[in-house]
Amino acid sequence: MGDGIKLPMLNGLGRTNRIDNWWSQPLTMGIALTAALIYTFWRLFINDADISYTLQGSTVMSPIFSPNVLEWDLFGLSSWNHPEWVNAAILVLWIPFGFRGTCYYMRRVYYRTFFASPTACWVDEPDINKAIGYKGEKRLFIFNNLHRYFLYAAMVILVIKWWDVTHTMHFKDTHEYGVSIGTFVMAIEAFLLTMYVTSCHALRHLAGGMLDRWTTGISRIRGRLFGRISVLNRSHGFWFWTSLVFVFLGDLWVLAVADGRFNDVVLFSF
Ligand code: FES
């Protein structure tokens, strides 16, 4: 057996023989994630007004503040005399935050964008990374192993998101049902989140990946389910970004309508 071919590698952060714009994707993603974090911080801690608006008695909720657990009678939350800085997003956002933060795709993104580990294929990484070496998912990163549990919690959130969509369709003032622009905004957000959750690697494993064979009875059904999720899983990155972006677009829409910059309208009702 030979030793294999040793390819030349340039040493030094970011040095490479690649001639394409290898840096553009990690740079764009890094900027997008940083902007998302800053916007979320602003909405949670600086401006948590206008989290919803009503249209003829229907409620359209900002995706960031949905589910609005502070309005729930469950656990006495609606009558809780909470501190002024507490809002629904502060109480709930740890679930989507934990779910996205431990996502297999997200790990790839932030390892590359924020830690340059690796910087990119065939691009050298910083010396500090070489000195530390790869230690696996230990210390703080051990939380990544909780992804499956965040998935369970995210599924509950997903059901509530669709429930919130139904609230936009009941115009209590006129005792009618129908669809407004807000319905579309919330339904698109819920749909994109559904695609993101149903294309999850951990869900695929739970559905059928954990089995040795899919030959009889229920295992055959799970095998088929595994196949379906595998198809969605190929676009997991796409669903990650579109569902994330739409959280903020939905929030901007709610802010704009609640501020009176735009008007929502009932598109049809019956
Ligand atoms: Fe990305 Fe589960 S792997 S959400």
Q: State the Cα–Cα distance between residues 230 and 202, nearest whole angstrom.
A: 11
238 lines ligand 1 (CB under 6 A): no
Position 247 scores a pLDDT of 97
> What pLDDT shows up at residue 3?
61
- Express the helix, strand and coil content of the chain in percent, nearest 5 each: 60, 10, 35
Tell me the best of 230, 236, 239, 242 to mutate to test the pocket of ligand 1, counting ligand atoms within 8 Å of each CB and taking the most: 236
The token duo for 120 is 């990119």
> Tokens for 124?
């050298």
CB of 204 within 6 A of ligand 1: the answer is: no
**What's 228's DSSP letter?**
H
Run of H or E residues at 147: helix 147-167
Q: Are 259 and 50 in contact (CB under 8 A)?
A: yes
DSSP state of 140: G
Q: Is 59 helix (H, G, I), strand (E, B) or coil?
A: strand
Q: What is the pLDDT along the chain (270 residues), one digit of tens a residue?
A: 456 666 667 777 777 888 899 899 999 999 999 999 999 999 999 999 999 999 999 999 999 998 888 888 777 777 788 888 889 999 999 999 999 999 999 999 999 999 988 888 888 888 888 888 777 778 888 899 999 999 999 999 999 999 999 999 999 999 999 999 999 999 999 999 999 999 999 999 999 999 999 998 999 999 999 999 999 999 999 999 999 999 999 999 999 999 999 999 999 999
pLDDT of 74: 75
pLDDT of residue 258: 96
